Structure 1
Amino acid sequence: MKKTLVWLLCCCAVLPAAGQPYTLEACRTAAAEHNRTLRSARFEVDAARQTRREAFTFYFPQLSATGGLFQAQHGVVQADFGMSVPVLGDLEFPISVVKRGVVGGISAVQPVFAGLKIVNANKLARLGEEVGRLQLEKSEAEVREQTDAYFWQVVALRDRLETVAAVERQLTEIHRQVAVAVDAGLVTTNDLLRVELRQQETASDRLKVENGLRVSKMLLARHIGVELRGFDVDAAGAANPEAPGTYYVSTEEALDRRAEYLLAEKNVEAQKYRKRIERGKRLPTVGVGAGYLYYNVLDKGVDDGVVFAQVSVPISDWWGGAHALRKARIEEQRAENERMQAREMLEVEIEKTWSELQEAYAQIGIMQRSVTSATENLRQNRSFYEAGTAPLSDLLDAQTLYTKSRNDLIAAWAAYRTSLARYLRVTGR
């Protein structure tokens, strides 16, 4: 109960009030609480817990009760009773008894030795619960990564929308200047048409970005399980991430944290338990028990108690048991091979993601220099155009380069944040 209250208080502290935009941390918290993939994973953990509790009951005595009554058309016991009577001689009389009756009983059998099947089944059930928790951790990491990707996609599209607005303002000013020049007879209407064509292209870009932003918000809202109406994000509190070196961990350390590799190890362990269970099927089982029996078949109730011991030897199972046991050993070897393969592939994934993260960070520096150059190029061409030393086409080309460099920088920042989220996931953080 205390843990639940603490969790609710933490959620109330992180989640925004109604109508307020969601920060990245608020989106992560909402996804952890409402995401349907995580809900399904928690259901799997609960089901595995019940399986483990069910397996524990096999240690207890197995109780069974039975009862019944019968009514026969003729007596169940029929015989001829012979006797010798003086004068009459030997006579035979038919006897028919037990035409109806009631029987019932209850018994309890405590397993003493079951070929270690119960012990290994309980270990396998506990392992299944651990696997469920690891699957939940894996799902949590994937949902967190996807949350970050959707969040930064929304932020990037919103920044692109701001770039479109800045370009629209620039084109409006250029259009005003060209219109004045046309009225003064300094340039032809062809230049004005060029500016208007560029404005139409910008309007088309705005429409595409607005539609993409709306869809991205819908994806994020559905992903974190919140209402779409009034939903927005707030990236003001999200500081620019540091250089990749701050987040680096060795491959060996990362493998020990990866749920995928731990699941591969658990699979090997599970196959060992299954092999032991298969071996136990060919071993004798021993049990002791007690019972109570009641029957009434001759209009007289009889009850009695009984204690017993039983031994069961599965002789016929030995014929195919050797092959089943070999199959279990092969499955164990296959699980070990899959574990090694998973380790190798995860190592490659970690190194590949690290390289992509470094590349994404380097792209930010390149794009920042491109924005600086494009900004200066636009300033110079605007000055040249206003001085009449450069044509309008050069100004419009400079404005296009400026727009492209701004969009590329926005995409580079979003790609770096997305790559960082992926790297944190593949390193088990």
Structure 2
Amino acid sequence: MHGCINNYMFNHLFIALEFMSKKYLYLSVFFILFLSFSGHSQELLSLDDCRKLAIENNKNLKIATEQERVAYYQKKEAFSKYLPEFSAMGAYLKLQHTINLLPDVITIPSIGSLPSMTIPTNGIGEVDIRNIYIGSLSLTQPIFMGGRIVAYNDVMKNAELLAKTQKNAQLRDVIAETDAAYWQVVSLASKLKLAQSYVDLLKKMDSDISIMEQEGVATKADVLSVRVKLNEGEVALVKVENGLSLSRMFLNQLCGLDISRQNTLVDEQSESLNINEDIAIIPNVDEALSNRPEVKSLEYATKIYKGKERIARAEFLPQIGFRAGYMWTNPNSRHGFEKKFNGGWNLGLVVTIPFSFGNTSKLNAAKAQTIISGLQLADSKEKITLEVNQNAYKLTEAQRKFTMSEKNLEKADENLRYANVGFEEGVIPTSDVLAAHTAWLSAHSEKIDAQIDVKLSAIYLKKSLGRDF
């Protein structure tokens, strides 16, 4: 009996252990998958990583790429105008009646004493061509088109270059926008750390002031003033957290990532950013005018309109073309409308002389477009010159602010250290300590803003100069 009970208990224990093993196995697999998923949902991204993702996923850049392809094939199509055109034609024609080459009755007039006679033809001249089949091959080769084909090819070549330039401009816009969003996230991430440090300092001070109140060396007003500052700091912390979340969403959208994805940027972990390369930028207006895609685009547009002007002028000139072909017909006329396919070749020159008064209006409109494009180019150069000078001034101003912020930061750190020591020793009032905390927060925040301003000013100056980022 004991043996049966032991076997029974052993079996149930084995089943329970097996169940628990499976349960832990499933939990382990689930935990591994969860970690794997978490690892994929969060990633460390550098500035170059964000640029690559933005370039790969930007819709406007993809549109510009397709527009470049369109311009390429249009240029190929324009070149084909130099080549002969071949065509084949086939036709079938159904007629209601046959053709009679002779009348039904032939009348012979009277000659001398011989009277006139009428002789019936009895369908001798009847030809059955009620079913006609026609086939032909033809070749057309332009010889002189007034310069239209050459001008059209120049227009399409410049149109392709224009499409490439516009794509390059779109690429620069994408990179600049991505860089600005990246540094905005870095700025807010640094401010989040700063706000958290500020709140931690105030919490420590709140704890200290509460103890001092209990010991009778601080008043209730001192406690309340610290707690008011603490509440303000916590509110500011929430605002920074919300701003950082929105900035991450915007950067993710630019990079083609899920907006809820929590990526960490490489420069978030840096205490201080390297701005030496940004400070070393030397502005040059001539460089900007030679490199800017906007200037190149307007230069190509001006060439395009000049080409259209030449096309409009070609409308006044005669056009000469060569034609050759071979035609088959059934019935064929070579052997009395024999019902067999037969044919022959043909050669010819075609000359067209235009007499349209509308061509003058076309030419004048093309000239006006050329003038407009030239004025737009001149206006663009003036605006670019102003933009380069403005961005150079902004970068210089940002550099000065950064230098001043570093000096202010040193003083604010030292002031806070002395204020904390004096507060602990009871020789500095609460209001002075809170003022030192506020100055410390402001100095650190100004340095963060100054660093990011230098970065952004350098980005916009490089963009205005037409340099690579």
Residue 44 of structure 2: SS of its match in structure 1? coil
> SS at 1:389's partner residue?
coil
Q: Secondary structure at the match of 2:266?
A: coil
Pair 1:170-2:193 in alignment: no
C-alpha deviation, 1:88, in angstroms = 8.8
Question: What do residues 106-161 of structure 1 show as CA deviations (whole Å, max 9, x unaligned)?
Answer: 21101111111111111111111111111122112222211211111111000001
- Summarize the alignment of residues 8-407 of structure 1 with structure 2, pairs less than 5 Å apart: 19-75=42-98, 80-84=103-107, 89=118, 97-228=128-259, 229-235=261-267, 240-242=274-276, 246-297=280-331, 298=337, 299-315=339-355, 317=356, 319-407=357-445
SS at match of 1:247: coil
CA 309–405 in structure 1, closer or farther in 2 if over 3 Å, else same: same
Shift of 1:177: 0.5
1:87 Cα deviation after fit? 11
More deviation, 375-384/41-50: 375-384
What amino acid is aligned across from residue 305 of structure 2 in structure 1?
Q
**Identity percentage over the alignment?**
26
Deviation at 1:172, TM superposition (A): 1.4
Aligned AA (2:421): S
Contact 2:152 2:311 (C-alpha < 8 Å) held by counterparts? yes
Query: Structure 1: which 5+ runs fail to align?
Result: 1-16
For 1:396 and 1:313, how far apart are their aligned partners in 2? Answer: 92
**Alpha-carbon deviation of 1:41?**
1.6
Instruction: After TM superposition, give the deviation of residue 77 of structure 1 in Å.
Output: 6.5
Output the CA distance in 1 between the equivalents of 2:315 and 2:122.
55
Q: Is the 8 A contact 1:79 1:96 kept in 2?
A: no
Does the CA contact (< 8 Å) of 2:288 and 2:384 recur in 1? no
Q: Return the offset for 1:378.
A: 2.4
How far apart are residue 374 of structure 1 and its match?
2.3
Look up the equivalent residue of 1:270 and give its one-letter code.
I
**Per-residue displacement from partner, 1:380-399 (whole Å, max 9, x unpaired)?**
33333333333322222221
- With 70-79 and 197-206 compared, the bigger mean Cα shift is at 70-79
SS at match of 1:311: strand
Corresponding letter in the other structure for 1:415: D
The number of residue pairs the alignment matches comes to 412
Query: In 2, Cα distance between the equivalents of 1:166 and 1:414?
Result: 20
Amino acid at match of 2:59: R
Structure 1 Cα separation of the partners of residues 292 and 239 of structure 2: 39
Tell me, in whole angstroms, the C-alpha distance in 2 between the residues paired with 1:249 and 1:381: 45
More displaced 10-residue stretch of structure 1: 297-306 or 174-183? 297-306
What is the alpha-carbon distance in structure 2 between the residues aligned to residue 367 and residue 243 of structure 1?
Answer: 19
- Give me the TM-score of the superposition, normalised by structure 2: 0.81
What CA distance in whole angstroms lies between the structure 1 residues aligned with 2:222 and 2:46?
A: 45
Counterpart residue type for residue 303 of structure 1: G
Q: Does the 8 Å CA contact 1:168/1:199 hold for their aligned counterparts? A: yes
Contact 2:273/2:451 (CA < 8 Å) preserved in 1? no
Letter aligned with residue 183 of structure 1:
Q
Name the structure 1 match of 2:451.
413
The normalised TM-score by structure 1 is 0.88
Cα root mean square deviation, aligned: 2.6
Please tell me whether Structure 1 or Structure 2 has the larger radius of gyration of its CA atoms.
2
Q: Greater CA deviation, 267-276 or 322-331? A: 322-331
CA-to-aligned-CA distance 1:21-78 (integer Å, 9 cap, x gap): 1111222233333332322221111111111111111111112222221223334679
Cα distance, 1:79 vs structure 2: 7.4
Quick one: distance in 2 between partners of 1:371 and 1:165? 18
Which stretches in structure 2 are left out of the alignment for 5+ residues?
Answer: 1-39, 109-114, 332-336
Cα distance in 1 between the residues matched to 2:316 and 2:117: 67
Cα distance, 1:92 vs structure 2: 7.8
In 2 relative to 1, CA 75–152 (structure 1 residues): closer, same or farther, beyond 3 Å? same
Matched with 1:12 is none
Amino acid at match of 1:32: I
Q: Is the CA contact (8 Å cut-off) linking 1:101 and 1:295 kept in structure 2? A: yes
Q: What amino acid is the match of 1:294?
A: W
Q: CA deviation at 1:244?
A: 5.8
How far apart are 1:287 and its partner, in Å?
1.1
CA distance in 2 between counterparts of 1:374 and 1:147 reads 33
SS at match of 1:300: coil
User: Any idea what the Cα deviations from partners look like across 1:266-307, whole Å, max 9, x if unmatched?
Assistant: 122112111111111221111112111111145332322112
The answer (yes or no) to whether the contact 1:244–1:361 under 8 Å persists in 2 is: no
Offset at residue 427 of structure 1 (A): 0.7
> Deviating runs (4+, > 6 A) in structure 1?
76-79, 85-88
Paired residues of 2:248 and 2:262 also in contact (CA < 8 A) = no
Distance 2:104 2:404 in 1: 115
Structure 2: distance between partners of 1:197 and 1:246: 45
Q: Secondary structure at the match of 1:105?
A: strand
Change beyond 3 A, Cα 1:76–1:224: farther
